[in-house]
Amino acid sequence: MVTGGAGFIGSNFIRYVFENTDFKGRIVNYDKLTYAGNIKNLDDISDRYLNSRYFFIKGDICDYKKVFSTLEEYDIDAIINFAAESHVDRSILLPEDFIKTNINGTFFLLEAGVKHSKSKKHFRFHHISTDEVYGSLGKTGYFYETTPYSPRSPYSASKASSDHLVRAYHHTYGLDATISNCSNNYGPYQFPEKLIPLTIINAIEGKDISVYGDGKNVRDWLYVTDHCSAIWLMIKKARAGETYNIGGECEMENIKIVKAICSELESLYPSKNNPFLKDKKYEDLIRFVKDRPGHDRRYAINCDKIKKELGWKQSYDFSNGIKETVKWYLNNKDWIESIKSGDYKKWIKKNYNNR
């Protein structure tokens, strides 16, 4: 059972498993379909496997009864928990949903997992987490699996909390649980609230590209299918109770990311041919705006452990990953339009009206 499988990484993961591994079984995608969940992200997989090897259940991970009955009905061997509120800026505006889904939701999944696992010979709970739980770095140093947690936004605090619960359920109840802490992902199907898809779409439409603060905050970027391959290896090979860091070993300042996207667009869709740009270049759209409150300065992950112990490695570097990503958004304007015109707007209106 993949929770949050209609989101960005979850949908890439389901596709990855069907297309790139020797998996012969069934996947149940259990997703609440919040503003960030889009069932169309898996149209190709539905066409091939719906109700034979791929099943979709619209459900909330906070709904213990529904989670448990799904585990039983489909005789689930593993939960891979992607379901979360995932955007830092939203956690600053509307923290409640982050507490509900990321903390309470993980708790209900763990409870259901423990009960269900009693009737199973093998059962694994893999929890998808983030490097943000480790806090913020100065100019040097890295996050290791042993780095103490120091979350600093409502989002990262809620993810840290869920990681602690997962470890507690392993130690206390013997649940076979594993955790991965990954750096910033990018690639196809990412909701256009995050830096890379938002920049690409604004640039294509000739809108301002906002860079927070001085643009020198650093993130470590990983192409999404490289995250998926690491998770798959962990599900198959990691010992119960293990944690692995996953990262791109690709530290970049935000301003460099934004400029790289502009330059990729200049070669794939030159600004002189884009009617929204008139006589501007893509880079002319860049604006430095007010900083994110509590903005973490630098993340950098050390992922030697998963490389050495499980033999994982990245297959994309930033230059080919960003080319693929920009191409995908240029070729999938219908997907962008469906997101812009869909329930997303109603959801934003309902939830953000009074903030």
Q: Residue 72 catalytic?
A: no
Point out the residue whose Cβ comes nearest to ligand DAU: 130
Stretch of residues binding ligand DAU (CB under 6 A), selected from 80-88, 172-180, 221-229, 264-272: 80-88
- Tell me the per-residue interface mask from 145 to 184 with ligand NAD, x by CB under 6 A, - otherwise: --------------x----------------------x-x
Under rule CB under 6 A, residue 101 binds ligand NAD:
yes
The string of DSSP codes covering 194-255 is: SHHHHHHHHHHTT--EEEETTS--EEEEEEHHHHHHHHHHHHHHPPTT-EEEE--S-EEEHH
**Which of 3, 12, 81, 184 is close enough to bind ligand DAU by CB under 6 A?**
184
Stretch of residues binding ligand DAU (CB under 6 A), selected from 120-128, 162-170, 205-213, 268-276: 205-213
**β pairing state of 218-223 and 251-253:** antiparallel
Nearer to ligand DAU, 57 or 105 (CB): 105
Q: Residue 43 catalytic?
A: no
d(CA 330, CA 327): 5
- Please list every residue from 210 through 229 that binds ligand NAD, using CB under 6 A: none
Q: Which structure tokens are listed for 281?
A: 């270049």
Contacts of 2 (CB under 8 A, 6+ apart): 10, 13, 14, 27, 28, 29, 30, 80, 82
- Please list every residue from 118 through 147 that binds ligand DAU, using CB under 6 A: 130-132
Nearer to ligand DAU, 183 or 271 (CB): 183
What 311-317 contacts at long range (C-beta under 8 Å, 24+ apart), as own/partner pairs, is: 311/233, 312/229, 312/230, 312/233, 312/246, 314/222, 314/223, 314/226, 314/248, 314/249, 315/223, 315/225, 315/226, 315/229, 316/223, 316/225, 316/226, 317/250
Tally the C-alpha atoms within 13 A of residue 121's C-alpha that lie toward its C-beta.
0
Point out the residue whose Cβ comes nearest to ligand NAD: 7
Stretch of residues binding ligand NAD (CB under 6 A), selected from 25-33, 267-275, 307-315, 325-333: 25-33
Nearer to ligand NAD, 33 or 255 (CB): 33
**Which of 18, 21, 26, 33 is close enough to bind ligand NAD by CB under 6 A?**
33
**Which of 87, 152, 237, 256 is close enough to bind ligand DAU by CB under 6 A?**
87
Q: Are 29 and 43 in contact (CB under 8 A)?
A: no
Q: Is 103 helix (H, G, I), strand (E, B) or coil?
A: helix
Under rule CB under 6 A, residue 82 binds ligand NAD:
yes
In the numeric block, the tokens 């891979």 are attached to 80
Nearer to ligand NAD, 117 or 245 (CB): 245
Q: Look at residues 114, 326, 74, 129 and name the one whose alpha carbon lies nearest to residue 245.
A: 129
Contacts of 204 (CB under 8 A, 6+ apart): 265, 269, 274, 276, 329, 330
- Please list every residue from 3 through 22 that binds ligand DAU, using CB under 6 A: none
Catalytic residue selected from 155, 189, 329, 344: 155
In the numeric block, the tokens 């884009």 are attached to 274
Catalytic residue selected from 31, 60, 85, 131: 131
Q: Residue 155 catalytic?
A: yes
124: β partners: 78
d(CA 197, CA 218): 17
| Count, residues near ligand NAD per rule CB under 6 A | 30
Q: Which does 3 bind (CB under 5 to 8 A by kind): ligand NAD, ligand DAU, none?
A: ligand NAD
Q: Which does 212 bind (CB under 5 to 8 A by kind): ligand NAD, ligand DAU, none?
A: ligand DAU
Backbone angles phi, psi at 221, to 5 degrees: -100, 135
**Contact footprint for ligand NAD (CB under 6 A):** 3-4, 6-10, 31-34, 36-37, 60-62, 82-86, 101, 105, 128, 130, 159, 182, 184-185, 191
Residues with catalytic roles: 131-132, 155
**Contact footprint for ligand DAU (CB under 6 A):** 86-88, 130-132, 183-184, 194-195, 198, 210-212, 217, 219, 254, 292, 299
